[in-house]
Structure 1
Amino acid sequence: MKICIIMSTYNGEKYIEQQLDSIFKTPKNIFLYVRDDGSKDRTIEILRDYGIKHAVPIEVNEGKNVGSAESFLTALRECPKADYYAFCDQDDVWVDGKLSAAAEQIDTTNQPVLWCSDYQVTDSELHVMIPSVLEQPVQDSVRAVFYNNVPGCTMVFNWALMQELRKVNISKIRMHDIMAINVALITGKVIFDKTPYVLYRQHGNNVLGYSHKKIQIGKWTKDKLELVKNKEDYSTAEYAQAVLNSFGSQMNEKEIEKYKLISKMNESLMSRLKVLTKPYTKAKFNRTSISIRCKILLNLM
């Protein structure tokens, strides 16, 4: 059994060694594949020194800075074949037993399977602030395109799902974990373990962190105005079309209709308003749901 851990790094020298210690507590059959996203600190040096010092397999590939989503997407397509894969962030800590629990529950099926677990939110010193976050992963593939609630750092999946993920012909995505659970729900299944196997560290420099505070109107408005000026470099419409191209033959008519509507939402305001009337874009009124619906309306995603 070979497990390939996929990590994207960027200026992670402060916390990365703690993460490596948690990964390699049981180093048997584990291979760490790293794509560095243009770090300017000692991240690459720490990774290579750690591999030599502890005699563990770490492959580091240096790349230009393209952002977390594209960096993970590149790593996902270039990492070697394995029985199981796990996404890994540079600044979290894994709890003992994560990989063995995932491998045991996924087993040796030929069906594409994504396993995920609950997680704990901690401060920068790993003091637990929220002991349990995830009650149930999103179960609707279309809804997952907009409201994925499973962070990549909790995910483990098999070679069968990796092959499906590599069929999606797209260069820019919103986030790698959205694509992973979306494709798993279309082509296979998702297994949820209620044990929190990840300490999800919040330290102020996270690319994407856990948001549990109330909305701050001033900051929220400023962020959205910035998005209007500098739209993020991905298209949900293009992603929906790529999914249709890859998996349309496996979908029923209703699913195809949903993805077709999403694939046209950047064509006109009317198209986006139609998407906003659908159940899969609606959620409990909070900061996330407001942001998603505003992005759809303003063609920012």
Structure 2
Amino acid sequence: MSDVVRPEVDILMATYNGTLYIKDQINSILYQSFKNWRLIIRDDGSSDGTLDILQHYARLDSRIIVCDDDLGNLGVFGNFMELIKLSDSKYVMLADQDDLWINDKVETSLSFIKEKERGIVPILVFANSILTDDSLTKKYGYNYNMTEPPSLHNFLFYNAGYQGSGMIFNDYLRMKIFPFFENCLIHDYHISLVGLLLGEVHHISRPLMLYRRHESSTTLQNIDLQSRVLWFLKKKTYLYTPDLVKYLNVFFEYYIKEIDEEKKALIHNYLRIIDENNSIIKRLFAIYKGGFSLRESKAYLMFKLILVK
């Protein structure tokens, strides 16, 4: 996509059957204090009238562009990847269809990433968010409670990636995102990993949006603490999955020449940990040697690995 005058920020929104909250989200973007943006939306085949709502907003504001293609249903990952291909702005932000942005989210994110930029280094910044219920009335706290800066050590076992809808990244990082690989189902993770391995990742601790956790996502709120802890400790997929292991091996092989030696050593240790052919002693030693952590705790990661070995 190209215009005579490019907007400074492209906001990319992937939608699917989002009539319930999509108006609130688009309105929160329209009310942003920073105005030089373009909202590019791709609907993934909604059947509930979402597309009609999007086209209505596009007629009202020329900054809103609704994609028209014959690619069909791509899923969340494919939808966002297709949107990123369409962007040509200096900075990119991602938006989910059901959040609510605080009115200076774009301005604050843009100012922050500009402070961190240097030369042609790929930069990724992600902001905090406030967890809420569907109606935005109950607040469950912050999505992140980080006391350490983002790093490979404390990321690799956090396999959901940093929250995509909290991200802003520059064009140098955007150019590194492709190709993406099979077996990665989460765009957040892929973009986060590109930033950590090939550039820099920074965190805005202040929350810049309200993040709805739907009923299916808040089930654990309704069970007792002991059951919640046992579920969390035993949940093997929180460490890694077979698909994730396949994806990472392809990813590391493709980018190996662009990764510095310190990060290569870290990756080597990480692959030893997730290789179930290695003894538990070797895997625990690799955690200790590599300085890895989960939820900023090395002991917790070791304990969890023992439980799920």
CA change 1:42–1:69 in 2 (3 A) is: same
Among 3, 8, 17, the alignment partner of 1:2 is: 8
CA RMSD of aligned residues (A): 3.8
Amino acid at match of 2:152: S
Amino acid at match of 1:270: N
- State the SS of the aligned residue for 2:175: helix
Residue 272 of structure 1 and its aligned partner are, at CA, apart by 8.7
Q: 149-158 or 242-251, which moves further after superposition?
A: 242-251
The TM-score, its normalising length taken from structure 2, stands at 0.75
Corresponding residue for 1:117?
127
User: Where do 1:89-100 residues align within 5 Å?
Assistant: 89-100=96-107
Corresponding residue for 2:259?
250
- Give per-residue Cα distances to partners, 1:108-166, cap 9 Å, x unaligned: 64321112222111111112413433233762225423215631111111111111222
CA change 1:212–1:25 in 2 (3 A) is: same
CA contact (8 A) 1:152 1:177 kept: yes
CA contact (8 A) 1:237 1:262 kept: no
Q: Residue 48 in 1 paired to residue 60 in 2?
A: no
CA change 1:47–1:276 in 2 (3 A) is: farther
Q: 239-248 or 36-45, which moves further after superposition?
A: 239-248
- Number of aligned residue pairs: 285
Alpha-carbon separation, structure 1, partners of 2:8 and 2:307: 40
- State the SS of the aligned residue for 2:278: helix
Corresponding residue for 1:157?
169
Among 203, 206, 212, the alignment partner of 1:201 is: 212
Larger radius of gyration: 2
Residue 294 of structure 1 and its aligned partner are, at CA, apart by 9.3
Q: 11-20 or 67-76, which moves further after superposition?
A: 67-76
User: Where do 1:258-277 residues align within 5 Å?
Assistant: 258-260=266-268, 269-270=277-278
Alpha-carbon separation, structure 1, partners of 2:242 and 2:209: 29
CA change 1:258–1:193 in 2 (3 A) is: closer
The TM-score, its normalising length taken from structure 1, stands at 0.76
Residue 6 of structure 1 and its aligned partner are, at CA, apart by 1.6
Paired-residue identity, %: 23
CA change 1:275–1:151 in 2 (3 A) is: farther
CA contact (8 A) 1:15 1:91 kept: yes
Amino acid at match of 1:29: N
Stretches of structure 1 lacking an aligned partner (at least 5 in a row):
none
Corresponding residue for 2:292?
280
Stretches of structure 2 lacking an aligned partner (at least 5 in a row):
1-6
Amino acid at match of 1:106: I
CA contact (8 A) 1:6 1:79 kept: no
